[in-house]
Amino acid sequence: MKDPEDASEGAGAGAELTARFAAEVDWTKVVDLYIPLPEGQYGPDLLERHWSPDLLTAENAQAILHFACCGDGSSVSPAAPEVLPFLVEAVRDPAVKVRPQILETLVVLARAGNAARAAELGLGHGGRWRTAPAAWPAAWDRAVDALLPLLADDVEGDEDIRVGVAAVLAGAIRRADDLVDRFLARFEDEPDLSVAEQLVLTVGELAPHAVERREDAVAWLRERTTDAGKGEEPDMDDDIDAWLAWMDRHGHDVRPAATVALRSALRPQ
């Protein structure tokens, strides 16, 4: 079995989770896409390293698994639905040092899955090169449900994780109507500007795929293109109470992001 890193560098996944890596993943499907078997075969230790306290070890494991799941990003490999639940679990664990990198992998997988579906329906380009296993849609749908709670700002982590999760969920196009509602509601409560901007961009990506909520999403984005939010920050030295009141409001100025999102929302399908 291929051994990308010496296991002695350690992993922090814990015994129960480590046992699940072995029991719940069909490792015969998790292989290097270009190295023949048995040298290109991976095992549970590859997931364990995502929990390593050593950043380089975790980064190397993540890079290897990314390639095993989607190669150059054009397709979803049979490995992806096998390991996807644990990639999501890693994103949900603040102890994992490579959460942003995992989210980047999920963005690529979502796009590849959508491209494969479009090619299957004759709506995209790439033909047989755009593929995804039959197990992918159900696995992806479960992943979406597991990621949604991470949009809340009371979840341990930081705004970068919320930005990444919102970017991943832009690829959940088959659930566009439901997610548009969720993102519009979340925008009202989101305290961080960078996350609010990504929520807007995600609405723009989902809107063309919505049925019942498309017109509402477009109208909402149009409003955001002209809404200055809570306005310019007051001078704290001039009026501390006004500054504190301004800081407590969430009315973000997302006009540049909304302009980009509106173009996405209005693109022909």
pLDDT tens readout for residues 4-63? 444 434 447 788 999 999 999 999 999 988 887 777 899 999 999 999 999 999 999 999
Check: CB of residue 158 under 8 Å from CB of residue 100. Answer: no
pLDDT-derived band at 191 (thresholds 50, 70, 90) equals confident
- Listed by start position, the domains of the chain span 1-140, 153-269
What is the pLDDT averaged over residues 169-191?
Answer: 94
Q: What is the pLDDT of residue 222?
A: 97
| Of 62-66, 75-79, 102-106, 244-248, the least confident | 244-248
Say which residue, 61 or 247, is predicted with more confidence: 61
Indicate if the pLDDT at residue 156 is higher than 60. Answer: no
Check: CB of residue 32 under 8 Å from CB of residue 68. Answer: yes
Q: What is the pLDDT of residue 2?
A: 45
Residue indicated by tokens 């292989």: 31
Say which residue, 244 or 224, is predicted with more confidence: 224
In angstroms, the CA 206 to CA 172 distance is 8
Q: Which tokens go with 240?
A: 């501390």
User: C-alpha dihedral over 55, 57, 58, 64, to 10 degrees?
Assistant: 140
Alpha helix stretches (DSSP H) within 173-249: 176-189, 193-206, 214-226, 240-248
Indicate if the pLDDT at residue 258 is higher than 90. Answer: yes
Q: What is the pLDDT of residue 240?
A: 83
**What percentage of the chain reaches a pLDDT higher than 70?**
88
Indicate if the pLDDT at residue 208 is higher than 90. Answer: yes
The whole model's pTM is what? 0.86
Indicate if the pLDDT at residue 123 is higher than 70. Answer: no
Indicate if the pLDDT at residue 143 is higher than 60. Answer: yes
